[in-house]
Structure 1
Amino acid sequence: MVTIRDVARFAGVSVATVSRVINNKGYVNSDTRIRVVQAINQLKYRPNDVARSLFKGKSKMIALFVPDIMNPFFPELARAVEDVCNVHHYTFVLCNTDNSIEKELTYLNALQQKSVDGIIIVSSTLKKEHIEEVTVPIIALDRTFGVELSTVKVNNREGAREATEYLKLLGCQCIAHISGPKNASNTEERKQGYLDVVKNDDWFSCNYIVSGNYNLQVAKGVITKLLERHPEIDGLFVANDVMGVGAIKAAEELGINVPNNLSIIGFDGISLGETTSPTLTTIAQPIYKMGSRAAEMLIELIINNDSQKKTEEFSVQLVERQSTRPRGREE
């Protein structure tokens, strides 16, 4: 493998001169610079990024942890982070954790050994003691941890209230909630928003809340059982769009007409919701903006070494589609 010393010998200059040319730092006269560049090209020299990162203590690398790459929400988020990384000349690394604490800790250890500059984490399993051991800047995205970190999220509780109130406005008399995994912070926030609206209604029962674990197949199964046990349910607030698709499929297999007999609203605003039949009404998050802002905040932390914690909370938007009955129409 060609080394920087080989380039220096070929160009007839010192190793320090080659280093100045590569890093574009310090004075090198134009003739010498041309010789060095020609030597690099002829020898096909490529700088050793690992060695340079060890020397500088920086890798120009940012990692994003996501719990389920099969959920379309996370590729959309990842695209935004990657775009910002590219603009600032950072290498982007995507880590799919499968909601496994073992995988998350393995990634954390490996990335720190490679001098990763910063990490954006979407996690439901990492704990305070795990985060406190990390020596590089971290941004929490979409979910919060039991430790003070800079965070980018949406107002989940308010969005859930809006979703549930919307179903009431449409005339739904019995509204159930399909929640996410128990250990995800946004699961609790969305459930609380639902409860804010319905907990004092005469018909309400905790039996109308079941967990679909943010997974399509899991949600489809639990929703099928829920609707079979409680045929009175005429509205579903589903805590993410992937489960919302599961709800539509469950209703279809049970012969329940959506939206005439059952209105369904999801949460996220992913493009998958536009491809279902009927299309999925949803509370849309500004996914690209969230990912972009998380990446920008992380790069600011890396460059400025600023320890001040920030929380940026985005608003959500109701997107009306075909899975809910039209406004003003009550059975």
Structure 2
Amino acid sequence: MSTIRDVAKLANVSVATVSRVINANGYVNENTKQKVEEAIKQLDYRPNDVARSLFKGRSKMIALFVPDIQNPFFSELARAVEDMANKRGYTFILCNTDNDNQKEMDYLQALLQKSIDGFIFVSNTIKAIQIENVNVPMVALDRKISSGLASVTVDNRDGARQAVEHLQSIGCKQIGHICGPENVSSSRNRLQGYLDVVKKEDWLTSDFVQVGDYNIRGGFHAGLEMLKNNPSIDGIFAANDLMAIGVLKAAEYLNIPVPEKLSVIGFDDIELGKITSPPLTTIKQPIYAIGKQAAELLIKQIEDPETEVKSEIHDVELILRASTKESGEWCF
């Protein structure tokens, strides 16, 4: 493998001159520049990225932290961030944190030592105080970390209201809610949207809200308990699609036909929800668009530190499929 010294020797210039050409830093006359470029091509020389990052203060690397890569929602987000990073010439690093704050901090410190250019966090465990001295650009995605950190989210509360109002519009009289972890901002906002619609109903008790932890198993057990304790429930809004799929399995276990006796609606519109039996009615958030937007905001901060980056809130959309009665035409 050729070195920078080999290039300098072939071009009959100093190592410093080769460095100036590679990094486009400092004056080099055109004839000398051409000789260096020809030597680089002839030797198939590839600059050491670590050395370049030390020289330029940039690594051309960005990292995305997600709590659970097995959740299809996060893998779809990661694809969007990676696509945008690659398009802009950045290396993409994916960190699966398991909702473990210590693991997040270990990743953070390790990557800062490698001159990482920026971070995108999907986290409900990182505290603002833990990152206040991090001197690289950062963006929160899907859920907020602090008011001072730029974020890309959707209107979770409005989406939840749409879900519950749709269940009411098709005749559901008693509607339960499977929520996510209470320390996740998206979960709290979706719960509030549910309560906005049903808080004055005389049937509402604490049994009508169960925690499902944003996964299929949690949705199954929460749905099982809710339906056993409240057999009059005829509609369930789950705060993400994985939990809604768990509710479908709970209904199947209890021999409750969906949607004839129970209508189920989720949130996210992951690909898996399109092939469940029945296919899942959901609140669609633009997963790819918000991942792409987060990467764009981060790269904008990296390349222009003086730029003012504002948080973005995206709209959501009701997608009708066969898990809710009277849905009519439904789509993929």
Q: Which residue of 2 aligns with 1:66?
A: 66
Shift in Å, 1:213: 0.5
1:87-138 per-residue CA deviation (whole Å, 9 max, x = no partner) reads 2111111111111101110111111111111111110101121121311111
**Which moved further from structure 2: 300-309 or 155-164?**
300-309
Q: How does 1:84-163 map to 2 (within 5 A)?
A: 84-163=84-163
Alignment partners' CA distance in 1, 2:4 and 2:295 = 33
TM superposition score normalised by structure 1: 0.93
Q: Which residue of 2 aligns with 1:209?
A: 209
Residues 82 and 92 of structure 1 are in contact (CA less than 8 Å); yes or no, is this contact kept in structure 2? yes
Q: What is the SS of the residue equivalent to 2:125?
A: coil
Alignment partners' CA distance in 2, 1:191 and 1:299 = 33
Runs of 4+ deviating beyond 6 Å = none
Q: Which AA in structure 1 matches 2:245?
A: V
Residues 227 and 233 of structure 1 are in contact (CA less than 8 Å); yes or no, is this contact kept in structure 2? yes
1:234-256 per-residue CA deviation (whole Å, 9 max, x = no partner) reads 10000001111111111112111
Alignment partners' CA distance in 1, 2:7 and 2:62 = 30
1:282-308 per-residue CA deviation (whole Å, 9 max, x = no partner) reads 000011111111111111111221374
1:302 lines up with 2:311 in the alignment: no
Alignment partners' CA distance in 2, 1:307 and 1:18 = 32
1:235 lines up with 2:230 in the alignment: no
Q: Which AA in structure 1 matches 2:105?
A: L
Alignment partners' CA distance in 1, 2:236 and 2:167 = 8
Q: Which residue of 2 aligns with 1:191?
A: 191
1:61-99 per-residue CA deviation (whole Å, 9 max, x = no partner) reads 111111111111111111111121122111111111111
Alignment partners' CA distance in 1, 2:13 and 2:54 = 24
Q: Which residue of 2 aligns with 1:178?
A: 178
Alignment partners' CA distance in 2, 1:141 and 1:119 = 10
TM superposition score normalised by structure 2: 0.93
Q: Which residue of 2 aligns with 1:246?
A: 246
Shift in Å, 1:13: 2.0
Q: Which residue of 2 aligns with 1:257?
A: 257
Q: Indicate how the Cα distance of structure 1 residues 205 and 307 shifts in structure 2: closer, same or farther if over 3 A, else same.
A: farther
Alignment partners' CA distance in 1, 2:317 and 2:211 = 24
Q: Indicate how the Cα distance of structure 1 residues 24 and 305 shifts in structure 2: closer, same or farther if over 3 A, else same.
A: closer
Q: Structure 1: state its 5+ residue gaps.
A: none
Q: Which AA in structure 1 matches 2:233?
A: I
1:18-49 per-residue CA deviation (whole Å, 9 max, x = no partner) reads 2244335544545x556544543554533111
Percent of paired sites with the same residue: 56
Shift in Å, 1:274: 0.4
Q: How does 1:26-41 map to 2 (within 5 A)?
A: 26-29=27-30, 32-33=32-33, 35-37=35-37, 39-41=39-41
Shift in Å, 1:228: 1.6
Q: Structure 2: state its 5+ residue gaps.
A: none
Residues 108 and 134 of structure 1 are in contact (CA less than 8 Å); yes or no, is this contact kept in structure 2? no
Q: Which AA in structure 2 matches 1:252?
A: E
Q: Which residue of 1 aligns with 2:218?
A: 218
1:76 lines up with 2:76 in the alignment: yes
1:191-227 per-residue CA deviation (whole Å, 9 max, x = no partner) reads 0000000010011112111111101112212211221
Alignment partners' CA distance in 2, 1:268 and 1:97 = 21
Shift in Å, 1:310: 1.3
Alignment partners' CA distance in 1, 2:318 and 2:203 = 25
Count, aligned residues: 327
Residues 177 and 238 of structure 1 are in contact (CA less than 8 Å); yes or no, is this contact kept in structure 2? yes
Alignment partners' CA distance in 2, 1:280 and 1:126 = 32
**Which moved further from structure 2: 141-150 or 229-238?**
141-150
Residues 169 and 327 of structure 1 are in contact (CA less than 8 Å); yes or no, is this contact kept in structure 2? no
Alignment partners' CA distance in 2, 1:206 and 1:134 = 41
Residues 320 and 327 of structure 2 are in contact (CA less than 8 Å); yes or no, is this contact kept in structure 1? no
Q: Which residue of 1 aligns with 2:283?
A: 283
Residues 176 and 235 of structure 1 are in contact (CA less than 8 Å); yes or no, is this contact kept in structure 2? yes
Residues 156 and 190 of structure 2 are in contact (CA less than 8 Å); yes or no, is this contact kept in structure 1? yes
